Structure 1
């Protein structure tokens, strides 16, 4: 079982690739201006993922949207992709802790990079684009 599969299974985190997570956060940063409806937002993001060559299942995108809202981000179009990724990382780390998953320092860094889509510690979000 891979690291991603282990975390996904233990903490109920979507087992998406780093590229899929990145595309999701980049799209959410733009699309959250368009809709506050979680279902519609997930559909728009899914369409962006497909158009960008990194398709992701709508149900898994919905889990990310729900997790961001649970973590306190209103998805109101005000947060850049890097902020959304950071909120998601914190949510996933808390989910791991709640599930009793103990991560070594190396694994924590791997988790941060994976579920942030590589945006963890990135520069200003204005340098990032969907395309």
Structure 2
């Protein structure tokens, strides 16, 4: 019988290389960090306070060109390696989802794509909707 490799994850959303400050709050932890990869459904971050896999956090992302932070009401810690962690965005309101999609579209237009190929997907217009995110 074969067991699945827990490190292999088939991703259906594009991830983007970023360097955005973040703050997070859980029942037993509060911290700050830097988001290093971002997608519509989650992020990979480096934090200053350790988190535990399975923990629910409220997350605030400082986005460039936006005065207010992006609020993710609930994110689950999916994996931890030292002070690095992967977060899955479980719940955020529709306005925040639209803001996140706008930021990802801007990153796509600037070719900050971190997909399986070395080149970003091509779009005819800079503000075209993300094809990888339904």
**TM-score of the alignment, normalized to the shorter chain, above 0.5:** no
Larger CA Rg, structure 1 vs 2: 2
Instruction: Tell me which protein shows more strand as a share of its residues.
Output: 2
When normalised by structure 2's length, the TM-score is 0.33
Structure with more relative contact order (C-alpha pairs < 8 Å, separation 6 or more): 1
